[in-house]
Amino acid sequence: MPYPFAPLPTFAEFRRILIQEFGCEFKQEFQIINEVNDSYPVTFFERDMDGEVLTYVVVFPDDENERISLTLLRSILERLRIDPRRFGLELDHFED
């Protein structure tokens, strides 16, 4: 759980931290969804961990100054294997 009164980062802050401090890349690709070649953008974080590529698809809100939810934050950190203590969290089942 977060330490008392530890504010969750905004989406903009979170993206900046993941890119600058953890070497993640924020990417966008277009996926074709049907036979008439309609496509839609898919945004995701990608992190290379000693040759293993970890990804997490994420939908950012229109206002990136909105704070990220605790549930989403925990999910992204676990999937990308990022130490949650950087964000004032501890995950009991988090593996190094």
In the numeric block, the tokens 């496509």 are attached to: 39
Q: In angstroms, rounded to a whole number, what is the distance separating the alpha carbons of residues 33 and 19? A: 29
| Banded model confidence at residue 1, pLDDT cuts 50, 70, 90 | very low
pLDDT digits over 9-32, tens only? 999 999 999 999 999 999 988 776
| pLDDT tens for each residue of 61-92 | 889 999 999 899 999 999 999 998 888 887 55
* Residue 43's pLDDT band (cuts 50, 70, 90): confident
